[in-house]
Amino acid sequence: MGSQTFADDHLKEEIRNRLDIVEVVGRYVGLKSAGRNMKGLCPFHKEKTPSFTVNPERNIFHCFGCGKGGDVFGFLMEMEGLSFPEVLRMTAEETGVTLPSSLPPPAQTQQKSPDKNDLLRIHALVTGYYYQCMQKSTNAVDYFKNRGLTGRTVKDFRLGYAPPGWHGLMDFAKRHGIDTEDLAACGLVVKKENGSCYDRFRDRIIFPIFDTAGRPIAFGARAMRAEGTPKYLNSPETSLYRKNRTLYGLSHARSAIKERNHVLFVEGYMDFLSLFQAGIRNVAATSGTAFTKEHGQLIRRLTSKVVLLFDGDSAGADAARRAAFVLAPLGLEVRVLMLPGGEDPDSFVRAKGADTLISLVEERALDAVAFVTDVAAKRHGENTPQGKSAIIRELEPLLQAMTDEIVRVEYVKHIAERLGIREDLVWKRAKPRQSSSQPEPSLKNAAKRYLQTEEGSFLHLLVRNPALAETTNEQISPEVFTDRFSRELYSLIMGGVREEGFDARLLDRADDPRMREVLSLMLLAEEASDSPEQDLRHKGRRLLSKSLTCRAREITARLRRETDPDVRMRLLGERSELSRQLGALN
């Protein structure tokens, strides 16, 4: 980020000061107070105990497990997969800071396309259009009535209808000054090979999909007639909408989820709407995709308890099994309820009522591992050695992915007891393997190892005691450091203390990702010292001694090769002076 010279430093600092890094990180990570810091499970690698630390005073984060660190901009870049200019624009909008017009557009918008505000405005207008079309369509109104939805529910969730014509939405958009390219950027029209376009949704019931702030960002559409294919059609992914990070209804349900400390996950729009209307407000659904790790991380900000409430058929059982394999390893307490008689949540709550469904959840929901063991046992049989082996083999990925060792131990016990086999046989399959998402030891500990070197320890103490920087700068030059990384880091730190002070702004000066990780660790990790001035002076002398010794060795090695008398005389004189300086230090 240090190379992003197009960003006005004053504006960037203003944005950073207006953002609460704890609040921003807390959107993705469950944080708990730990002294002056906040701690949580790292979102960048799998871990059992929290090593991800946020320091609100310095406006930085650092993971002591994988080594990733930086400021609020770096965190959002990593989490959202955005470039620095994109994050700067996003945070400027959030904090109300006006960026200069000279800021270059993000790469994906260099071809003329609307920005985020334009996309949101278009989705809001189109939501209103579909809602008005629904009010004018007897068939659409009857559809909602027949599905048991009240006018209040239809209005609250802005349910709508896309008429059967090929250009109805395009004509509406044209009247409101929205061109076809902007509609295409929203995924609302389909482009043909000849360049012409037509409405994506036609003769379909429309379910607006909202972001966590309650703004429409996409649409789900159900065919009105049985012969309509496909039955469901969703908006394609856009810059606003990513299926694996969006849960239908979450903006309406989040307060109830937090209050009741658990969430019911269902699969369909109608399942969600029926439960919500019946008074079960702690519910959410996916929008056109299976449950993903990102969905789990999203819900983990609100609760650690999940109930999977799926259709009571074989397809529902398979979906619940897949979801359990994804969600349980994230540290979520997952239970599963398969509805009786092949019913789905929508039909069940309409027939039996909310109280009956809630009672069923409380009494019959199975722990995730108990459920997936049952499913595997039905598939393979549990009365033969081969069947038992196949069951364990099917459960291997789930057991190995568990990050909580206590949970893994209990699950191994359950499976061993259920199958009547020794625990050690299950343990052989349950041991986690090194995965690509787990940082390699060489990468994981790079920043920590650097702080244990003489150079790293010296610079760490300097960063933690900025008042000593001026006298240190008089005694230690960058050339004292024998490696390039430390020389550049020392120069960066010294430049930072004169211009900015030692906080998150120091990271702005670093282009090297490794350097930013080391700096973020230095800013967060305490350097134990009862007498920092004396310790810094002592460490500085050791560095100077190391530098002089290295130079003396270089000269000695060169003398072995050098034959020119004049050059040898000069080198011998330099080595003698180095010996004198080393003697003075000692």
Cβ neighbour number for residue 546 with a 10 Å cutoff: 15
Please compute the mean of the pLDDT values over residues 17-40 and round it to a whole number: 86
Give the pLDDT band of residue 472 (cuts 50, 70, 90): confident
E strand spans, 144-292 = 160-162, 189-191, 197-199, 204-210, 216-223, 232-234, 247-248, 263-266, 283-286
Binned at pLDDT 50, 70 and 90, residue 496 comes out as low
CB 298 within 8 A of CB 257: no
More confident residue, 435 or 344: 344
Residue 462 pLDDT level (bands cut at 50, 70, 90): confident
Q: Summarize the confidence of residues 162-190 as an average pLDDT.
A: 91
Structure confidence by residue, pLDDT tens digits, 57-114: 888 888 887 778 888 888 888 877 677 787 888 888 888 888 776 555 544 444 445 6
Using a pLDDT cut of 70, give the percent of the chain over it: 89
CATH assignment, 116-240: 3.90.980.10
Given pLDDT bands bounded at 50, 70 and 90, which one contains residue 14?
confident
- The beta strand positions in 172-299, using DSSP E, are 189-191, 197-199, 204-210, 216-223, 232-234, 247-248, 263-266, 283-286
Calpha distance 64→71 (Å, rounded): 15
Structure tokens at 267: 């699969």
C-alpha distances in angstroms, 432 versus 147, 427, 580?
47, 10, 57
Separation between Cα atoms, residue 570 and residue 511, nearest integer Å = 39
Confidence band for 497, pLDDT divided at 50, 70 and 90: low
Residue with the bigger pLDDT between 155 and 537: it is 155
Residue 118 has a CB neighbour count (10 Å cut-off) of: 14
Count of CA atoms in the C-beta half-sphere (13 A) of 199: 22
pLDDT digits 0-9 by tens, 181-232:
889 889 899 887 777 889 999 999 999 999 888 999 999 999 887 665 677 8
| Unique residue bearing structure tokens 């800071």 | 97
Q: What is the three-class DSSP state of 407?
A: helix
pLDDT at 3 over 50: no
| 32 exposure class (CB count in 10 Å sphere: 0-12, 13-18, 19+) | exposed
**pLDDT tier, 543 (very low <50, low <70, confident <90, very high otherwise):** confident
Strand 263-266 relative to strand 283-286, pairing: parallel
Q: Is pLDDT at 384 greater than 60 in this prediction?
A: yes
* Segment 363-370 mean pLDDT: 90
Strands 305-310, 263-266: pairing is parallel
Torsional sign, CA 462, 467, 472, 474:
positive
Length of the chain in terms of residues written: 586
Span 112-150, pLDDT tens digits: 456 788 899 999 999 999 999 999 999 999 999 999 999
How many beta carbons lie within 10 A of that of residue 38, not counting itself?
22
User: Token match 């609460």: residue?
Assistant: 20
Closest CA to 334 of 410, 412, 262: 262
| Summary mean pLDDT of the chain | 83
Cβ neighbours, 10 Å, residue 497: 19
Q: For residue 366, what is the enclosing H or E element?
A: strand 366-367
Band of residue 527 on the pLDDT scale cut at 50, 70, 90 = low
Mean pLDDT of 403-430: 85
User: 126: which 2 tokens?
Assistant: 């189109």
pLDDT in tens, 315-334: 788 888 888 888 888 888 99
Distances (CA, A) of 101 to 50, 89, 98, 104: 42, 11, 9, 8
User: For the domain 9-109, what is the CATH code?
Assistant: 3.90.580.10
Q: Cα 173 from chain centroid?
A: 35
Q: In the predicted model, is pLDDT for residue 504 greater than 90?
A: no
Q: What pLDDT score does 2 carry? A: 46
Which pLDDT belongs to residue 208? 97
* Segment among 40-54, 247-261, 362-376 with least mean pLDDT: 40-54
Among residues 240, 248, 295, 302, the alpha carbon closest in space to that of 270 is found at: 248
Reference 455, options 550, 581, 547, 551; nearest CA is: 547
Residue 272 has pLDDT above 50, yes or no: yes
Q: What DSSP line would sit under 500-534, residue for residue?
A: T-SSTHHHHT--SHHHHHHHHHHHHS----S-HHH
Q: How far apart are CA 130 and CA 510, in angstroms?
A: 49
Q: 487 or 506: which carries more pLDDT confidence?
A: 487
Rounded Cα gap, residues 248 and 253, in angstroms: 9
Pairing of strands 60-63, 52-55: antiparallel
Tokens standing for 289? 């995709």
Indicate the pLDDT class of residue 502, thresholds 50, 70 and 90: low
Fold of 245-364: Dna Topoisomerase Vi A Subunit; Chain: A, domain 2 (3.40.1360)
Where is pLDDT greater, at 460 or 155?
155
Q: What is the pLDDT of residue 444?
A: 46
What does the block give as tokens for 432?
A: 């986690």
Residue type for position 257:
I
> CATH fold of 445-585, please?
DNAb Helicase; Chain A (1.10.860)
Give 441's pLDDT tier (boundaries 50, 70, 90).
very low
Portion of the chain with pLDDT greater than 90, in percent: 25
Q: Is the pLDDT of residue 353 over 90?
A: yes
At residue 8, the pLDDT reads 52
The CA distance from 61 to 218, in Å, is 33
CB 504 within 8 A of CB 16: yes
Query: pLDDT confidence of 348, banded at 50, 70, 90?
Result: very high
Q: Which pLDDT value is given to residue 500? A: 45
Q: How far apart are CA 575 and CA 580, in angstroms?
A: 9
